[in-house]
Amino acid sequence: MRIGIFGPGAIGGLFAALLRSNELYIFARGATEDELKSGLIMHTPEGELIHVLPTEYKLSCNPGELDVALICGKSSSTSELADMVKEYLSDEGIALSIQNGLGHSEVLAARLGWQRVLSASTIHASTRLGLNEVQWTGRGEVSIGGLHSESPRLADPRVSSLLRCFKEAQLEPVWCDDIEKGLWIKLLLNIAINPLAAISGQENGEILRSESLLEQAIAIMDEGRKVAIAEGITIESEEMIARLLQVLESTANNRCSMLQDIMTGRRTEIDSLCGEVVRRAEKHGIPTPLNLQLMSLVSAIER
């Protein structure tokens, strides 16, 4: 299978390393592209070091050649990456957004049509140690599904091949008939953890250890949950609190991606997380002061 990774950051680098047995293409630019010319390094949760040789992937391909395009870049780059995917994906190829936040699949569909777009969410955890080096900090799974009636379905041979490929790569794919709920659950966990960790400069576990931070995280998450319900997604409060506690415990020593962005002076994904909650809430007349405040604070730190 000819697979393209667009955005080889923490998650993109992880996926690239795990999918190395395929015909792999990694699309990068600038200093990241230069570093990838010497190979890609991944550390597994068990301490194993995997060095993906530069002969095991290419940094470009011919237009219309890819069977699968995985969009793993920051949310702010989705439009730019979607244009690249349009050029390199075959007419029958499938594109998946594996990004934080909501709205990315819609951007892809505007370029490719829903018949070539699937949506995905992962709970694999990864940290970027360098431009060509990642630490796989936690094993998880990848939820995949279609958001639109025209999206590929499980019976589609392209989907079967994709799921088999992911399973062989230890990515643990799960087909979801209700992927929209899965995307919302991931969003709620992200808004509860990432902004607080980024503002306080703490690892995830500090939220679990601090009663005041944990109360804030739950309140932020519940504010977003009410917006999800207004959007037609039923998510129980008790279910989300249990998920939050589990994620905080399993990633206690992790610096979340938003904190890493702040520390390295990169643009964060606050706009597609808390910003998306605020925008959707406005349509339904739902007040979201906590998410609005976090969006303002993180944006100010960015500036």
Q: What are 260-296's pLDDT values in tens digits?
A: 889 988 889 999 999 999 999 999 999 999 999 999 9
CA–CA separation, 238 vs 48, rounded Å? Answer: 37
Residue 39 backbone zone (phi > 0: left; psi -120 to 50: alpha; other: beta): left
Residue 114 backbone zone (phi > 0: left; psi -120 to 50: alpha; other: beta): alpha
Widest CA span of the chain, in angstroms?
54
Kindly report, residue by residue over 27-51, the tens digit of the pLDDT: 999 999 999 999 999 999 999 999 9
The 10 Å Cβ neighbour count of residue 119 is 27
Residue 232 backbone zone (phi > 0: left; psi -120 to 50: alpha; other: beta): left
Cβ distance 14 to 134 under 8 Å?
A: yes
pTM of the model: 0.90
pLDDT band (50, 70, 90) for residue 65 = very high
Cβ distance 251 to 138 under 8 Å?
A: yes
Q: In what order do the strands lie in the sheet with 125-130?
A: 49-52, 40-43, 133-138, 125-130
Residue type, 168: E
